[in-house]
Chain A
């Protein structure tokens, strides 16, 4: 059980290469080492951002820190395995690129089925309650979902390797990267851009921002809060599942996939400031690069560098980097 994901971690193209590579680079060229760290870090950051932006969105709107986010991520990965499997079983070989659409469809399915069920039947009873209690509620959901996934998909690993190899390899200096890894960075940019555009440039998005700012006031202005809550949660579930679906091709989908992701996503979101999309982007970059640096320079620290960064940031900014000032209430 490795936090940060054994292979849920795109920063590691293959096992066992890092030790020798590091030594060679130190002898050869520090600039190349720096570039490697940067590229690995960016790939990891892209993955981190997709995984954690949904978490911060849900917290911003609903004030729920969702531990089950990791399970939804895992569910996205399983759904991707199923949907891509169905796609290739029904003549998808003729147009393999369509499997990328299948990945997105899988995430959508999870969001539209699981999202409303969780929000309507469970979470809405806890709106406005103590946030730590809600963390525990979602911890209960996490436990339940972990076993539900075992019941639905069994305990055997699934492989969705087709989309991973489709984009070929990319040569960057003396190193080879799998094209799919860069597709993850691109996906992160697209996700970030879409979330930003929707929030800032559409009417619905501005209403959501108003709810984040002050839900009571928005309600008194005639905003249908429960609708915003429902769709914001569904969007959060979609982003979690999308993270899982995009990760599925890079590893074997097995039970326990989500356990490690939760805490890593938490760290990113807390560093950036809860509820802040920009914060999640900065947090993902910091954690991604710190982790890549640690993998290449100080492998012993790899397992806990994320938490070290988080503790360090919270030490100076007790509520994360991007956080609104609030008046003390007596």
Chain B
């Protein structure tokens, strides 16, 4: 029970900080954080899988599906209600995930990574050739509306930001509860030794498939929000370098802490836009050096910093996890 109280407390705190940001942040930072949070939700999906020891290099697939769902539905129905579009993005991504999850759940390590990557590249190739929906140019998406509320300018920016912030905190809190549940902890056991888990009577495959579906839904949510925030979608959403960034954030954060994912995502966006600004020709270089430095210095990710301090009393892995 205690754990739930602290999850609720932490979520309220995070929400308060983020909402205050809606009035304190300058305009450029608000868009940056909106995008960072939306992409962070996608990376959170990779973290869900990482707890079971799998890393997907193709999460761009669901990011792209979510984004295109939003763009296509907005075009067909003429509504850009963000609640509707995000729900649809989540549902369609989740449906595809449910279809592929059981198949992919038997793959491990690099084969899982590469198979998921190849699926995202198939989508990339298909979308690039589909001129009906813009081909490589993609499509524009009209400004988001919020249950009949049609904001413009800075109010639109702020509304998008607040929507994303609330969704992020909600998703984070739900996942924390899930991670601490018996079923959520099974993933960690699988990460340690999946054969043992099988012998103890749990189905590794069903856990992996469920994690995959959760990750797919998170990818869809992030994609739908990004489509509305940017106002444009194109096949690059599904390109392997996009997926690479999601993995980057997940590894940067580590699988121990949920807030760390969003911190990592914001750091990545900051590093990217600042190096874009100050070293326009060498921003990839800065990003690469930064990535290598993090892997060298914090092999367990940013999340391990918090855990290391807090978990000093109880050293076992599960206690550490709480």
Interface residues of A (CB under 8 A from B): 1-3, 65, 122, 125, 131-133, 135-137, 139-144, 146-148, 150-151, 155, 259, 263, 266-267, 270, 274, 300-304, 307-308, 310-311, 314-315, 318-320, 328, 330
Contacts and interface: CB of A to CB of B under 8 A. Distances in A.
Chain A interface, DSSP helix/strand/loop, else mixed: helix
A326 B2 CA distance: 45
Interface residues of B, number: 45
A266 B118 CA distance: 10
A136 B113 contact: no
Contacts of A328: 195
A318 B118 contact: no
B125 A131 contact: no
Given A307-B125, A311-B115, A328-B195, A147 B295 contact: no
B55 A132 contact: yes
Interface string B57-92: 100000000000000000000000000000000000
A303 B125 contact: yes
Nearest to A259: B241
A146 B284 contact: yes
Contacts of A150: 281-282
Interface of B: 55, 57, 103, 106-107, 109-111, 113-115, 117-119, 121-122, 124-126, 128-129, 193, 195-196, 236, 239-241, 244, 247-248, 251, 281-285, 287-289, 291-292, 295-296, 299
A69 to B, nearest CB: 14
Contact of A318 (B57, B106, B129, B240): B106
Contact of A131 (B109, B124, B239): B109
A284 to B, nearest CB: 16
Q: Which of A140, A146, A155 has the most CB of B within 10 A?
A: A140
Chain B interface, DSSP helix/strand/loop, else mixed: helix
Contact of B129 (A266, A303, A308, A330): A303
A140 B291 CA distance: 6
A143 B118 contact: no
B111 A304 contact: no
Nearest to B109: A131
A133 B251 contact: yes
Contacts of B251: 133, 136
Contacts of B115: 310-311, 314
A136 to B, nearest CB: 5
